[in-house]
Amino acid sequence: MGLFSKLFKKKSVVELRDPVFGLITYNNGIWTFLPTKPEDAFMIGVDASEAGPTAQQRAFFCQLRSELAEYERRARDYMASRVEPSVIVSKLSTYAVQIDDDDATHRGEFTLEMSDDDAFIVHRVSFRAGQPIDYGFDD
Domain ranges of the chain: 13-138
Question: Percent of the chain scored above 90 by pLDDT?
Answer: 78
Tens digit of each residue's pLDDT (9 = 90 or more) over 100-121: 999 999 999 999 999 988 888 9
Using the predicted structure, report yes or no on whether residue 91 has a pLDDT greater than 50: yes
Q: Which residues contact 37 (CB under 8 A, 6 or more apart)?
A: none
Write down the pTM of the prediction: 0.87
Report which of 103, 95, 99, 126 is spatially closest to residue 30, judged by C-alpha positions: 99
Average pLDDT score over residue span 125-137? 97
Q: What is the rounded radius of gyration, in angstroms, for the C-alpha atoms of the chain?
A: 17
Q: How confident is the model at residue 6 (pLDDT cuts 50, 70, 90)?
A: very low
Mean pLDDT of the chain: 91
Amino acid letter, residue 73 = R
Collapsing DSSP states into helix, strand and coil, what is residue 58?
A: helix
Collapsing DSSP states into helix, strand and coil, what is residue 1?
A: coil
